Structure 1
Amino acid sequence: MTTIIGFAGYSDSGKTTMVSLLVPYFEERGIKVAVIKHDAHGHYKEAPAADSTLFIRSGASASVVLSPDAVRTYERKTVTLQDTVERLKGSYGLILIEGFKRESYDKIAVFRTEEQARIVQQLAVPPIACIAPDRKLAEAAAPDIPFFSMDAVESIAEFIRSRMKNP
Structure 2
Amino acid sequence: MACHVGFAGYSNSGKTTLITKVLVEFQRRGYRIAVMKHDAHGHYKEAAGADTTSFIDAGAEAVVTLSPEAVRIYERKANPDLQEQLLVLDHYDFVFIEGFKKEKYPKIAVFHTVEQSQIMRVLDPAPIAIVTDLDYTADGIPTFHSDDVQAISHFIEGYFKASQY
The TM-score by the shorter chain falls in which range?
over 0.9
Q: Which amino acid is the alignment partner of residue 83 of structure 1?
A: E
Q: Which residue does the alignment assign to 1:147?
A: 143
Q: How many percent identity over aligned positions?
A: 50
Compute the RMSD of aligned alpha carbons. Answer: 1.3
SS in 1 for 2:49: coil
Shift of residue 92 of structure 1? 0.6
Q: Which residue does the alignment assign to 2:35?
A: 35
Q: Which residue does the alignment assign to 1:164?
A: 160
Q: How far, CA to CA, are the matches of 1:49 and 1:157 in structure 2?
A: 40
Q: Which amino acid is the alignment partner of residue 142 of structure 2?
A: P
- Please say which of residues 155-164 and 6-15 is displaced more in the overlay: 155-164
Q: Which residue does the alignment assign to 2:105?
A: 105
Q: Which amino acid is the alignment partner of residue 152 of structure 2?
A: I
Q: How far, CA to CA, are the matches of 2:54 and 2:139 in structure 1?
A: 50
Moved segments of 4+, more than 3 Å: none
Q: How far, CA to CA, are the matches of 2:64 and 2:88 in structure 1?
A: 17
TM-score by length of 2: 0.92
Q: Which residue does the alignment assign to 2:63?
A: 63
The total of aligned residue pairs comes to 161
* Pair 1:80 & 2:81 matched: yes
TM-score by length of 1: 0.91
Shift of residue 35 of structure 1? 0.8
Q: Which residue does the alignment assign to 1:114?
A: 114
After superposition, residues 12-51 of structure 1 pair within 5 angstroms as: 12-51=12-51
Deviations 1:53-107 (A, max 9, x none): 1111121111111001200011111320010112211x11111111111111011
Where in structure 2 are there 5+ consecutive unaligned residues?
none
Where in structure 1 are there 5+ consecutive unaligned residues?
none
Q: How far, CA to CA, are the matches of 1:29 and 1:155 in structure 2?
A: 13
* Pair 1:10 & 2:10 matched: yes
Deviations 1:108-147 (A, max 9, x none): 000111111010110121011101113x2x21xx333111
Q: How far, CA to CA, are the matches of 1:32 and 1:54 in structure 2?
A: 32
Q: Which residue does the alignment assign to 2:53?
A: 53
Q: How far, CA to CA, are the matches of 1:99 and 1:114 in structure 2?
A: 19
SS in 2 for 1:108: strand
